[in-house]
Amino acid sequence: MEFEPVAPVRAYERVVEQVEQAVFSGRLKAGERLPSERELMTQFGVSRSTVREALRVLQAGGMIRSKPGDPRGPEILPASPVNLHKSMHRLARAETMSLTELLQFRMLLEGSAYLLAARLRTDEQLAELETAMAAMTVAAEAGYEEFSRADIAFHEIIARATQNTLIVVCGEVVRGIVLDLIEDKLSHADDRRALMSAWLAHHREVFDAVRVRDGELAQRLARRAIFDHYSDYVPVRDRPLLFPLLGTAE
Amino acid sequence: MEFEPVAPVRAYERVVEQVEQAVFSGRLKAGERLPSERELMTQFGVSRSTVREALRVLQAGGMIRSKPGDPRGPEILPASPVNLHKSMHRLARAETMSLTELLQFRMLLEGSAYLLAARLRTDEQLAELETAMAAMTVAAEAGYEEFSRADIAFHEIIARATQNTLIVVCGEVVRGIVLDLIEDKLSHADDRRALMSAWLAHHREVFDAVRVRDGELAQRLARRAIFDHYSDYVPVRDRPLLFPLLGTAE
DNA sequence: CCATATTTGTCCGTATGTATT
DNA sequence: GAATACATACGGACAAATATG
């Protein structure tokens, strides 16, 4: 028999656990209210400071929001990706997670998104993609800011077509982090116009693949595009980690 | 010009911000200590409760750890993926998330993990996989509990071989949630033995693909295995959402 | 629109168990 | 083993903010 080391469980942690359990089990849904702090201290049998520490933890975790003077009590918030973004950003900044890993994951996700979108898209979504393409083309003349926004809009349509929330959210988060990490390098490059037109050409190719519902091709093209666009920023010795996702290199 | 709505900035938030800044900027490194709570209240010019609420938030964010009676003060922790795990978990088990989406994401992730692992694995990791396979084979006789544990061990080796934290963490989370959702149905099935031996056969196939470094094959087999094992539990009308990931069905 | 009651945000003081020196 | 400094937890208090009648 093996024994586990025990860490003392703080009072506020038990409060947090109970509230989290209530939310996860569905007994408390988004939009509903928690009792007031004074009510909670009687229900849990702890002091107000303890209740408040628990509420701060829950708030930092994105579970609740509380306003001063609101007699309805703290509000249960719907699940949101902001905390996923924060924790991922922290790992990236601490260099615990390399740009290589982020790009690998982005290639993986975005490629799969295109694979699914090509098969599952509706004709209406294809039309949306076409207008988004046109918008990107004109935005490329307007400048990097505009172009970037149009690019994001395009990706959002793709993500929606997959009908998978996790793909949508993780894709957004990872794309955002990658941009945060190398946006300055990118926007200061003197060959921005060349980059934009290359990016645009890639989109055109992948759009055609989605149009004819060739998922495998769309996936390969998307991954290749990310690789071509960003691999300059990953250390040479790390690049082999990305090759398996290109589907061609041996 | 657009204006943003302003939210009042609480005292404890400013304390959190300053400490986070100190950590992110590198002025405070992992292993170093924060001043004691009493010291912090004088430096920040706030009360003890405010300092404590800030420390709770930092602790919940995985930035620090504090023990009672430690005169050295709260310890700065190295960046770790546990928070990524937590926020991913929260997101993935939101009530809006269907089993179909989770399985789709799991097929996507696990397939890619095998694709990468087949190419990037070392000979040492292959040996580990072989012993894990053997352990699974004997565990299949011992019962469902043992078998499940051995299965997890196998997947952990695969995930490690990808060298990608995001794949590891997201894989763990999604696998765990899928099991939570249908574990009871699975463990009460009367054909548990048949399920286990089928699962074992699948692992043997995919192991062989990893052995000969055929990433594409390993990916296809892994996705097919998940589909075969779980698709009974997804609504019939949702199953087409999973087909594109099988790579064969048209 | 105003008045009121309630709630949160913040502060202070105190008692207790704990870890380091 | 004793002394010291610390975190944990409690209770009381006041001001600012807010919803409600």
* pLDDT at site A250: 44
Per-residue b or e along B172-210, where b marks 16 or more CB atoms closer than 10 Å to that residue's CB: bbbbbbbeebeeeebeeeeeeeebbeebbebbeebbebb
Tell me the β-bridge partners of A64.
Answer: A76
**Residue partners of A132: CB distance under 8 A and separation at least 6:** A150, A153, A154, A157
What does the pLDDT look like over B176-210, one tens digit per residue? 999 888 877 766 766 778 888 888 999 999 999 99
Query: Which residues of A in 127-186 have their CB below 7 Å from strand C's atoms?
Result: none
Specify burial of residue B69 (Cβ count, 10 A radius: 0-12, 13-18, 19+).
exposed
The CA-atom distances, in angstroms, between A128 and each of A116, A125, A144, A155, B225 are 17, 5, 22, 11, 35
Q: Do A61 and B86 touch (CB under 8 A)?
A: yes
What does the pLDDT look like over A61-109, one tens digit per residue? 999 999 888 889 899 999 999 999 999 999 998 889 999 999 999 999 9
Cα–Cα nearest to A220, from A195, A250, A245: A245
3-state secondary structure of A75: strand
Specify burial of residue B2 (Cβ count, 10 A radius: 0-12, 13-18, 19+).
exposed
Q: Where in chain A is the domain with CATH 1.20.120.530?
A: 82-246
Whether residue B60 is predicted with pLDDT greater than 90 in this model: the reply is: yes
- Domain A11-76 is in which class? mainly alpha
| pLDDT by residue, tens only, chain A of 250 residues | 666 667 778 889 999 999 999 999 989 999 999 999 989 999 999 999 999 999 999 999 999 999 888 889 899 999 999 999 999 999 998 889 999 999 999 999 999 999 999 999 999 999 999 999 999 999 888 888 888 889 989 998 998 899 999 998 999 999 999 988 887 776 676 677 888 888 899 999 999 999 999 999 999 999 999 999 899 899 999 998 888 888 764 4
> Which nucleotides of strand C lie within 7 A of protein CB?
5-14, 17-21
Domain A82-246: CATH superfamily, name plus number: GntR ligand-binding domain-like (1.20.120.530)
Q: How far apart are CA A156 and CA A128, in angstroms?
A: 11
Q: How confident is the model at residue B1 (pLDDT cuts 50, 70, 90)?
A: low
State the pTM of this model. Answer: 0.90
Which chain A residues have a beta carbon less than 8 Å from that of B97?
165-166
What does the pLDDT look like over B8-21, one tens digit per residue? 788 899 999 999 99
What does the pLDDT look like over B148-182, one tens digit per residue? 888 989 999 998 999 999 999 999 999 999 988 88
* pLDDT at site B249: 46
Cα–Cα nearest to B119, from A248, A109, A154, A13: A248
Q: Where in chain A is the domain with CATH 1.10.10.10?
A: 11-76
Q: Is there contact between B72 and strand C, defined as CB under 7 Å from any strand atom? A: yes
